[in-house]
Amino acid sequence: MTIHVPTSPAFKDNAHEALRDPALQRALGNVESGFIAKRRKAADKLPEFEALRDAARDIKNHTLAHLDLYLEAYEKRVTEAGGHVHFAPTADNARKIVIDICKRVGARTIAKGKSMISEEIDLNGHLEAAGVTPVETDLGEYIIQLRGERPSHIVAPVIHLNRDQIEENFRAAHEGLPEDRDLSAPESLLAEARAMLRKKFLAADVGMTGANFLVAETGTSVVVTNEGNGDLSQTLPKVHIVLASIEKLVPTLDDVSQMLRVLARSATGQDITVYTTFSTGPRREADVDGPGEYHVILLDNGRSSMLGGEFREMLRCIRCAACMNHCPVYHAVGGHAYGWVYPGPMGSVLSPSLIGVDKAGHLPNASTFCGRCESVCPVRIPLPKLMRHWREKEFERHLSPATVRSGLKVWSFFARRPGLYRFATRIGMRALALAGRGKGRFASLPLAGGWTGTRDFAAPQGDTFQAQWRARAGR
């Protein structure tokens, strides 16, 4: 059993390791070469794509402004359809609700579709402790589970791995897999996993899925997958549990269809995912299949307190991962370096809200603010602005490093006194220019080791611009 502790406080060490991991660096090349071009192509093909992004933003804003009403309406519809809605204020509450259901129906195994909320509440370790075996049925999640890892990406959980590493895991874990079976094509790995998983679907007592959207109008949960495992997880077992967070609500089915038009395009560059599965309540009398029980667990875990504050816009996120797919920092260090469930720019805003900025404080700082994330976000979340809000909170609470604070203090003392600044910088730059005159640059500089450890630093040309300008103008 593994209970995961956030390693976000060690972000710098994690990043250091990641940068020196050749297998990881090889795998990360796929993020840049794969997702970006596909999203661009899908977006370019659809003339109304930018307008759809506005519409998606507006739908989410409207829902969040009336979230209490939509949650009530949703609960009413689910109940009318014969399902049960459980509100879980905390991760602990949510885990207890799942485990209680499993115990009540005597479940020994639970087949799980991919769910980031399950990762957020670290469900698997707790299920195992309670004697219930979780079986991940999404191929990526299945591999992660074999390896005892967490996903490194919210859409492609094993983007940090190469095919040969996965083959190794399968050969170690799958008893009876002939040594001479050729697994060199990705399809053969998929077939191998599919054969293993089919047995587990049939044996599972409870099926669990996440939700991409919850529809207030109908009490429906919507899951998108490319493998169809979501369908099997929710139709084969006798109990279906939907595990979702409260901001997944949208008002109507029309809204869902609008959101779906931006989701897959932003995520994988597909027009739409292979499967889009709608489920509403348990099996009805005339239905040929479906679960006997239908439960929805709605997790808050700090989200309702985000609603009233400056991070509210983050609740628009539909987990497409476009932000991390386009992030130069994510490209460099991968998802595990971020140290908790949500990596990349969306994680750098969300993680401090969920586990505390004291633990996740590095994340919103480890950004160049290049703005590429915001430029591709399907619901137009101003991610750099929200990361900056976290930096402000850290500064207010004296959580930013002492060196940064004292450096800022000295710099701001001069910057706020233009006369003194011009005088001091003139002397300083003349001295530096003299010191750097031979080479025109410095290979090392005191207090700038973070830069000069790997890069030269250009020496000043000489006198400052302001001094030269005034000298030329005769002032």
Partner 1 sequence: MAHAHEPKPRVGLFATCLVDLIRPSIGFAAAKLIEESGCEVVVPSQTCCGQPAFNSGDRATARALALQAIDAFQGVDYVVAPSGSCAGQLKKHYPELFAGEPDLARRAEAFSEKVYELVSFLVDVRGVSAVKARFDGAVTYHDSCAGLRELGIKTQPRKLLDSVEGLTVCEMKDPDVCCGFGGTFSVKYGEISDAIVSKKIENISASNAPTLLAGDLGCLMNMAGKLQRLGRPVKARHVAEVLAGMGDEPAIGEPARR
Residues 354-393 that bind partner 1 (CB under 8 A): 365-372, 374-375, 385, 388, 390-393
* Smallest distance, partner 1 to C-beta of residue 350, A: 18
Smaller CB separation from partner 1, 137 or 266: 266
Q: Which of residues 58-97 bind partner 1 (CB under 8 A)?
A: none
> Residues with Cβ < 8 Å from 471, sequence gap 6 or more?
463
Piece of 150-158, 174-182, 232-240, 425-433 that binds partner 1 (CB under 8 A): 425-433
Q: Residues 433 to 452: which contact partner 1 by CB under 8 A?
A: 437-441, 443, 448-451
Q: How far is the CB of 390 from partner 1 (least distance, A)?
A: 8
In three-state secondary structure terms, 149 is coil
d(CA 351, CA 346): 8
Least separation in angstroms between CB 400 and partner 1: 6
Stretch that binds partner 1, among 203-211, 236-244, 275-283, 327-335 (CB under 8 A): 327-335
Q: Is 120 helix (H, G, I), strand (E, B) or coil?
A: helix
Q: How far is the CB of 308 from partner 1 (least distance, A)?
A: 16
**Quick one: tokens of 417?**
């006194």
Site string for partner 1, 262-301 (x = CB under 8 A): ----------------------------------------
Contact 259, 268 (CB under 8 A): no
Q: Residue from 87, 275, 414, 423 that binds partner 1 (CB under 8 A)?
A: 414
Q: Which of 172, 272, 415, 435 binds partner 1 (CB under 8 A)?
A: 415
Binding span for partner 1 by CB under 8 A among 58-66, 222-230, 329-337, 341-349 = 329-337
Distance CA 301, CA 72 (A): 18
Considering the complex, what minimum distance in angstroms separates the CB of residue 265 from partner 1? 20
For the residues of 74-101, what is the DSSP string, one character each? HHHHHHHTT-EEEEESSHHHHHHHHHHH
Residue of the chain from 2, 3, 12, 191 that contacts partner 1 (CB under 8 A): 12
326 Cβ contact partners less than 8 Å away, ≥ 6 residues apart = 35, 36, 372, 373, 375, 376
Q: Do 186 and 165 contact (CB within 8 A), yes or no?
A: no
Segment interacting with partner 1 (CB under 8 A) among 229-237, 242-250, 276-284, 323-331: 323-331
Q: Please give the span between the terminal C-alpha atoms of the chain, in angstroms, as a whole number.
A: 75
Under the criterion CB under 8 A, does residue 465 sit at the interface with partner 1?
yes
CB of 34 to partner 1, least distance (A): 14
Residue 431 binds to partner 1 (criterion: CB under 8 A): no
Which contacts of 130-135 are long-range, i.e. CB under 8 A and separated by 24 or more positions? Answer: 130/99, 130/102, 130/103, 132/99, 132/102, 132/107, 132/108, 132/206, 133/108, 133/109, 134/109, 134/110, 135/109, 135/110, 135/111, 135/197, 135/200, 135/204
Min. distance of Cβ 222 from partner 1 in angstroms?
A: 32
CB of 17 or CB of 205, closer to partner 1: 17
Specify the residue, 306 or 333, whose C-beta has the smaller distance to partner 1: 333
User: Within 13 Å and on the Cβ side, how many CA atoms surround 411?
Assistant: 6
Judged by CB under 8 A, the residue of 40, 411, 434, 444 near partner 1 is: 411
Binding range to partner 1, per CB under 8 A, among 96-104, 338-346, 347-355, 396-404? 396-404
Q: By CB under 8 A, tell whether 457 contacts partner 1.
A: yes
Considering only residues 65, 404, 431, 434, which one is a binding residue for partner 1 as defined by CB under 8 A?
404
Among 50, 271, 395, 431, binds partner 1 (CB under 8 A): 395
454 binds partner 1 (CB under 8 A): yes
Shortest distance, position 367 Cβ to partner 1, whole Å: 7
Least separation in angstroms between residue 386's CB and partner 1 is 12
CB 74 within 8 A of CB 219: yes
Give the nearer residue to partner 1 in terms of CB position, either 3 or 404: 404
Q: Which of 455, 324, 366 is nearest to 16 (CA)?
A: 366
Contact by Cβ (8 Å): 208, 113: yes
Q: Alpha helices of 180-302 — where are they, by DSSP H?
A: 186-203, 229-235, 253-267
Rule CB under 8 A: which of 211-240 touch partner 1?
A: none
User: Which residue among 328, 335, 346, 474 contacts partner 1 (CB under 8 A)?
Assistant: 328
Give 208's strand partners: 112, 241
Considering Cα of 175, then 177, then 180, then 183, what sign does the dihedral take? negative
Spatial neighbors of 51 by CB under 8 A, at least 6 apart, are none
Q: Does 159 bind partner 1 (CB under 8 A)?
A: no
Nearest CA to 214 out of 262, 260, 250, 240 is that of 250
Q: Closest distance between partner 1 and the C-beta of residue 326, in Å?
A: 9
Nearer to partner 1, 182 or 416 (CB): 416
Q: Is beta strand 220-225 parallel, antiparallel or unpaired with respect to 213-215?
A: antiparallel
**Helices 383-396 and 344-355, interaxial angle, to 10°?**
40
